[in-house]
Amino acid sequence: MKFDYILLDLDGTLTNPIEGISKSINYAMEKMNKPPVPEERIARHIGPPLRDGFMQNLGFTEDEAELAVELYRERYMPTGLYENVLIEGAQELLERLSAAGKTIAMATSKPEEMAVRLMEHFNLLKFFNFISGASMSADGRHSKTEIIEHALETLAISGDKLSRTVIVGDRYHDIEGAKNTGIASIAVLSGFGSREEFEEHGAGYIAENLPEACEIILSE
């Protein structure tokens, strides 16, 4: 088989979290006496680490970004996390990969604790061999490369196994993380990235949606 070890991004790949993220970012903005951010601009936050998003997309200083993350989580952890919907084909993807005997892991910039809770909420945790996410602390694991490396190390994926490993994601961070760790990438257009973004960063494959990504994975 072409791919035996499958890493899946979360936000924008398996779920659409825009409502909860938008409301929680603007909760933080209000608490900091800053103007609200329109939803179309907030979409840029989905994919990269949250602290980076506040600094790169909203011009926050490092200290401001740290405070914004704390305020964001005040609302997001009890409420915003669940203002979330599965992207079409997500459950079917997991069911087909599991039935085919694939090793399935998650590699997400969302903190691990939140990712686990969300998968429990959707009754999908049973499909995953491991969930690798970001650290809740500012000095912990945050880059997609670090998150992928953590998954690979935990699942003992190295050597020849790397050539049979792929990450499915919806932003360029997933593509760059794949390149940095020596695995393949499938970029899906059903999330928050564009074909131009994927082509610019050299995605291994570009799929219109999750069913098409599944066919790529399961092809001989």
Count the helices and strands in the chain (H runs, E runs): 10, 8
> CA-CA distance, 191 to 53, in Å (whole number)?
17
Known catalytic residues are 9
Residues 6+ apart with CB under 8 A from 84: 15, 16, 17, 19, 20, 118
> CA-CA distance, 175 to 172, in Å (whole number)?
5
Are 181 and 145 in contact, with CB atoms under 8 Å apart?
Answer: yes
Amino acid at 119: M
Place of tokens 């190390």: 153
Retrieve residue 40's tokens.
């179309």
